[in-house]
Structure 1
């Protein structure tokens, strides 16, 4: 029996450390379908939820159009008049390797993305079960192309144990002004009160704390400088570290070349009250 076979089940790849258990579903976009801490589920359940990968772009791309080297490309429009959340969140991935607390996965970039490439994700539980690190890579097999990468986790607003709803704490340097089409206008404004479906700039790195009072504190950190916060649904709150803002293929393109792939990590660390 191989290492992969020992941990790859019909319901996904399960990782365990301390009192934490993570389930990854390679067949459904390599999303984190479950994160249980001390037996309590933290992520909203359902095939659209958990925590999914956004690549090779994040959020909405305006009318699905962007430029590369002066040439215009058209992506399929999937959200109103825009293209949203990349191409890999609903398709099967391959499991490269897994053991008790670490697993790696990959998905080749194909049509409708105009260039061949690959997206990888490494999922690693801390040895003591106190945190989870996710690492994404986007690489090209040939020509260079602009790209973004990030995560879209759906954290439960309430853990369902009779406690209070989650509270968010973060200190962004600015908020991207949002237009009526839900895309940044290009203006940076002072952070405004929620509810949000908004992108914030954190040039020193993403640092957001979610607290379920008396139950759990979970911190989302990343060297990425952008985070989208979405808390307009009753069931969940999304804190999305990403390498650029919505429509970033146009406004903040990061070129992926054969010698310079795009790499980004996020760590979720948690503690429970004593």
Structure 2
């Protein structure tokens, strides 16, 4: 008999020096990232399903689609309601399927998956994600190829839970590169009004706000590089009281970021997800910042985690 397979499939470990990351076969999710045994992302057991979307790749849309309904070129589409309590479709189509491992070396692993034609999604996409470790940290590269015969509108995001080592989440400081916030309906977490500039204590997220007492499930927009950044990357961070922590950087196409404070992350308690997204919630309906990919063309973007 074969050994039982974990709930998330094979566990794909990569290393570089003292750095280590673990990626799951199911969902191609980041399950662990640590350096010298110090954790820089929240983790969970190989036999557990990812709690609260941990590490997930969100493709071909991040966040929510209201009622699972949207329209493509005049044709009504109906997605499965994967968030039934709020009557939404949430976080794309590939979180719970096995991906194909196409490369697994010492410090790099690459996985591919197909988004097939199905109810609510009438165009085929081929997507890949590559995780790579080097002296600077973890780099994650995404590609999406349009295999269909017409232009595809889509969005993507990821759902990591970065952490500043062993420090308690409530003792840490969150910094965001965002300049606006998207008001949402508190019942269904769908856009209620257009984005607005950060106001009041929301502006503290720009320079750094302590996470103690902060409760968020919030989409922030206007995420952009600082003018003096030589690499022109969007940079968010979580920092411990000594000033050390983890930076989540991303290409400028990730102009949105969802921040979610989990109250009961397994084995951890309070945790914070920083989710870079190319578009806001319900973008398949609003069209805001959707990527449009012509037949036969490929899109690529990167993000990463850098301890400091």
**Does the alignment reach a TM-score above 0.5?**
yes
Q: Which of structure 1's runs of 4+ aligned residues deviate more than 4 A? A: 158-164
Query: Cα deviations across residues 178-235 of structure 1 (Å, max 9, x unaligned)?
Result: 1232112242223254421111113424321111233841111112111111114243
Query: For the aligned residues, what is the CA RMSD?
Result: 2.2
Q: 1:231 to 1:94 in 2, by over 3 A?
A: same
Contact kept in structure 2, 1:163 and 1:215, CA below 8 Å: no
Specify the alignment match of 2:78 in structure 1. 74
The partner residue of 1:225 within 248, 255, 259 is: 255
TM-score computed with the length of structure 1 as normaliser = 0.86
Specify the alignment match of 2:217 in structure 1. 197
Q: 1:226 to 1:161 in 2, by over 3 A?
A: closer
Q: CA deviation at 1:115?
A: 1.8
The residue correspondences of 1:1-274 to structure 2 (distance < 5 A) are: 11-26=10-25, 28-41=26-39, 42-45=41-44, 46-49=48-51, 50-79=54-83, 80-110=86-116, 111-112=118-119, 113-126=121-134, 128=135, 130-142=136-148, 143-156=150-163, 159-160=165-166, 165-180=171-186, 181-191=188-198, 193=202, 194-205=214-225, 206-214=234-242, 216-222=244-250, 223=252, 224-233=254-263, 234-251=269-286, 252=288, 253-271=290-308
Partners in 1 of 2:27 and 2:154 — Cα distance?
18
Which ranges of structure 2 fall in alignment gaps of 5 or more residues? Answer: 1-8, 203-213, 226-233, 264-268
Q: CA deviation at 1:117?
A: 1.6
SS in 1 for 2:285: helix
Q: CA deviation at 1:163?
A: 9.0
SS in 2 for 1:77: coil
Query: Cα deviations across residues 47-97 of structure 1 (Å, max 9, x unaligned)?
Result: 214411000000001111112112111100111200000010111000011
SS in 2 for 1:249: helix
Partners in 1 of 2:173 and 2:255 — Cα distance?
22
Q: CA deviation at 1:44?
A: 3.2
SS in 2 for 1:58: coil
Which ranges of structure 1 fall in alignment gaps of 5 or more residues? Answer: 1-9
| Between 260-269 and 94-103, the greater mean CA deviation after superposition | 260-269
